Structure 1
Amino acid sequence: MFDPATNTLLRAAFDEVCEDVSRHETAARTHVASRILEAATDGDTSPERLRQAGREALHDAPAMGQ
């Protein structure tokens, strides 16, 4: 469980990375969220690194229908 400030950073990173991803693309959005949480769990809570982890996840996210 993260503190409120870290939760805010996680949400901001997710929202920024998924800004152009349809809410219907749940597999891709879940993949991005998972990678951002993984980075934070590993202690990497800098906003830029969280966004980078999310962008990398979006790049290799499962396509719809897979």
Structure 2
Amino acid sequence: MPDAEMAALLQAVLDEVCADVPAWDTTTRERVAIRLRATARQDRCSLQDLKRAGRDALTRAPTMWR
């Protein structure tokens, strides 16, 4: 998938997954974005894989908080 398409897909998934995250909560959006990029780098680029990874990033605290 070309970079522009992947960037658009990642942005769309980020926006969808974070739809209920307050605009001021940039830390959460960043955590989700990092997880989405990591998932895409593992060649798991399907819409379902990306949404699952994004939702997982929302529900799981970062490792340092456990």
Q: Same fold (TM over 0.5)?
A: yes
Q: CA RMSD in A?
A: 1.4
Aligned to 2:18: 18
Q: Is the 8 A contact 1:32 1:61 kept in 2?
A: no
What TM-score does the superposition give when structure 2 sets the normalisation length? 0.83
Cα deviation per residue 1:8-50 (whole Å; 9 max; x = unaligned)? 1101110100001011111111110100010001111101110
Q: Quick one: which amino acid aligns to residue 49 of structure 2?
A: R
**Runs of 4+ residues over 2 Å off in structure 1:** none
Bigger relative contact order, structure 1 or 2 (CA pairs below 8 A, ≥6 apart):
1
- Point out the structure with the larger helix share: 2
How many residues align structurally? 61
Aligned to 1:33: 33
Q: Quick one: which amino acid aligns to residue 29 of structure 1?
A: R
Structure 1 unaligned runs (5+)? none
Question: Does structure 1 residue 4 correspond to structure 2 residue 4?
Answer: yes
Question: Does structure 1 residue 59 correspond to structure 2 residue 59?
Answer: yes
Q: Quick one: which amino acid aligns to residue 50 of structure 2?
A: L
Q: Percent identity?
A: 41
